[in-house]
């Protein structure tokens, strides 16, 4: 497994490093981990004044400062990480390196301190999302790193993206620990209280409680059955939970209530416009839950 971890010395990038360092089972799988520091370019006028050699020395010195600590943390945990730096726009350089090296995962910290997309994830995170479809693990909490074996919620909706997310989890199981606990999550519409007028204009229940439950169960089965089959084929156990209500709200609430360690979601990410990068469900989850969020964006 190839993992790219951008680092900038902030507490948010430290969260990503600490998460990777907590993956004891992943050590045995001998992952290839690359730490990347991106330096902003020195203004052209200043670069001309001090000269190319001095500018290069500055970049190298600053990058070594940013990379030294994270590399030491990973080394103590048993990981041999490569280090490198680039100069340019952080989001562009991170996405470029991820695609060029064909990484399996980008793991990065993101602040997430508001309800607007520009504040939810931060401009660099949004820029990476807009420029690459490599799976992206967002570490947004500030608590201690979880134990090796994680409680993982996998949001499925019957789409190719949800199935791709499940395939990714099964392919890279060491990332989730020796004995992870997986739960497949799907939210069905809340049709209770639905009504339709009769001939006299009086509102009558559109469906009985039994009919509503049957329709919800059918919707749940359609969404979960393909992923259930994948887990059965891999001989991996997974619990199943049917949520009722808006998907983003219910998934976020479940993750908080059950204290999940990680949420996995498929997301289309079909443009560079901020509101379109994640899709509405992932956007709602990101807005309401600071749990680590793994976005698998290629179906």
CA nearest to 185, candidates 133, 286, 260: 260
Which domains are present in the chain? Answer: 2-296 (3.40.50.12370)
Q: How far apart are CA 298 and CA 60, in angstroms?
A: 35
The per-residue pLDDT for 242 is: 97
pLDDT tier at 20 (50, 70, 90 boundaries)?
Answer: very high
CA nearest to 187, candidates 226, 158, 150: 158
What tens digit of pLDDT does each residue of 65-98 get?
Answer: 999 999 999 999 999 999 999 999 999 999 999 9
What tens digit of pLDDT does each residue of 139-179 get?
Answer: 876 667 789 999 999 999 988 989 999 999 999 999 999 99
Cα 296–297–299 angle (5° rounding)? 100
Specify whether the backbone of 251 is left (phi greater than 0), alpha (psi in -120 to 50) or beta.
alpha
pLDDT tier at 267 (50, 70, 90 boundaries)?
Answer: confident
Average model confidence (pLDDT) for the chain? Answer: 86
Angle, helices 52-76/11-21, rounded to nearest 10 degrees: 40
pTM confidence score: 0.88
For residue 106, the cross-strand partners are: 4, 136
pLDDT tier at 278 (50, 70, 90 boundaries)?
Answer: low
For residue 32, pLDDT over 90 is answered with yes
Spatial strand order of the sheet with 293-296 comes to 81-87, 32-39, 2-6, 105-109, 136-139, 293-296, 262-266, 151-155, 181-188, 238-244
């Amino acid at each position: 497994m190839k993992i790219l971890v951008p680092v900038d010395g902030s507490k948010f990038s430290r969260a990503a490093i600490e998460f990777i360092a907590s993956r004891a089972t992943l050590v045995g799988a001998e992952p290839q981990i690359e730490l990347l520091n991106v330096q902003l370019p020195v203004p052209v006028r200043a670069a001309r004044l001090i000269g190319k050699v001095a500018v290069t020395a500055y970049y190298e010195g600053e990058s070594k400062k940013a990379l030294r600590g994270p590399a030491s943390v990973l080394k103590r945990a048993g990981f041999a990480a490569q280090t490198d730096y680039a100069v340019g726009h952080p989001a562009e350089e991170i996405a470029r390196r991820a695609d060029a090296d064909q990484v399996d995962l980008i793991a990065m910290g993101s602040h997430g301190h508001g309800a607007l997309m520009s504040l939810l994830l931060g401009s660099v995170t949004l820029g990476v999302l807009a420029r690459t479809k490599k799976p992206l693990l967002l570490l947004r909490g500030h608590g201690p790193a979880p134990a090796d074996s994680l409680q993982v919620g996998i949001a499925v909706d019957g789409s190719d993206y949800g199935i791709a997310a499940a395939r990714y989890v099964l392919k890279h199981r060491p990332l989730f620990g020796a004995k992870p606990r997986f739960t497949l999550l799907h939210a069905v519409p809340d049709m209770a209280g639905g009504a339709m007028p009769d001939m006299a204009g009086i509102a009558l229940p559109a469906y009985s409680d039994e009919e509503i439950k049957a329709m919800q169960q059918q919707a749940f089965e359609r969404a979960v059955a393909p992923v259930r089959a994948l887990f059965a084929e891999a001989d991996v156990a997974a619990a199943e939970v049917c949520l009722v209500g808006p998907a983003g709200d219910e998934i976020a609430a479940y993750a908080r209530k059950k204290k999940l360690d990680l949420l996995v979601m498929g997301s289309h990410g079909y443009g560079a416009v901020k509101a379109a990068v994640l899709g509405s469900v992932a956007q709602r989850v990101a807005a309401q839950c600071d749990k680590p969020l793994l976005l698998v964006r290629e179906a």
